[in-house]
Amino acid sequence: MIIYNQTSNVHSSLQLEWCKWMQYTYLPSLIEKGLFSKVVFSKLVNKSDKCDDNYCTQYFFISNALLKTYLEDYDSDFIKHQEIFFGSRILTFTTKLRVISQY
């Protein structure tokens, strides 16, 4: 299992609108593609500053091939759509994790 994690720092003025967009527009459109076994959308509990919050979206892939398809066909769309709808007040970085074991 591979987890592709997107962490986004969202400006306080955009949080409500961005979260709605993620939950009701962007993520449902990706889930329809059938590439993931699961998607988890979370808010970090430990805030790094007073104004902005951080959110994590974790996409669970059962194979490297599905992750590769996602990265080649859909990943760049996330940043493009964010910039179109919300400008430059959201900073996103990504990490890839391989699950070693689950309990």
Q: What is the mean pLDDT of each run of 10 residues along the chain (103 residues)?
A: 95 93 94 94 79 91 95 89 88 93 91
pTM, to two decimals: 0.88
Residue 66: count of CB within 10 angstroms of its CB: 19
User: What ranges do the domains of the chain cover?
Assistant: 2-98
- If you classify domain 2-98 with CATH, what class do you get? alpha beta
Backbone angles phi and psi of 84, in degrees to 5: -65, -50
